[in-house]
Amino acid sequence: MLDNRLGQTIENSFIEAGITPKVYSKTASVHIGTSIGLTGMGASFATMTSLLNQKESITDDMNIFPLYINGKKFVQELFVIHHRDRYLSSYTKYFVQALTDYCHRTELTSIQKFVGKQKDTLTDEAKYMAP
């Protein structure tokens, strides 16, 4: 898997489930990985942001569901770090506010937005929780 925190989390999920995936390709680009999954050529892990950016490519027959770890939905964290008590330009403040607003909207977007049009698959997220 990928050599970052998300990749390690995905790999550990497979190990805990006792599954050895056949990995044919891996990429550090979430956009490329999501695109491959959305073409139906394979399975991929995608962030909610990536799904939102490519939502027009999602078809009714795709299985999209959240990753659960220890019974909790996995959330990739994003941190905005700056020096305390240092001047922040108006551009920096705008960027931080825009990023915060975007992440908040993304967090409030339910995975059901993507799976709601699918018939009776994935309506119950709990059935996809790792044991």
Q: Which residue, chain included where needed, has tokens 């999920």? A: 13
| pTM (predicted TM-score) | 0.60
Which letter does DSSP use for residue 128 in this model? Answer: G
Measured CA to CA, the distance from residue 70 to residue 62 in angstroms comes to 25
Residues 11, 64, 118, CA angle at the centre, nearest 5°?
Answer: 160
H or E, element range at 69: strand 68-69
**Residue-wise pLDDT tens digits, 60-86:** 777 888 888 888 888 777 788 888 889
Six-digit token string for 97: 């506010």
Which of 24-33, 55-64, 90-99, 115-124 is the least confident region? Answer: 115-124
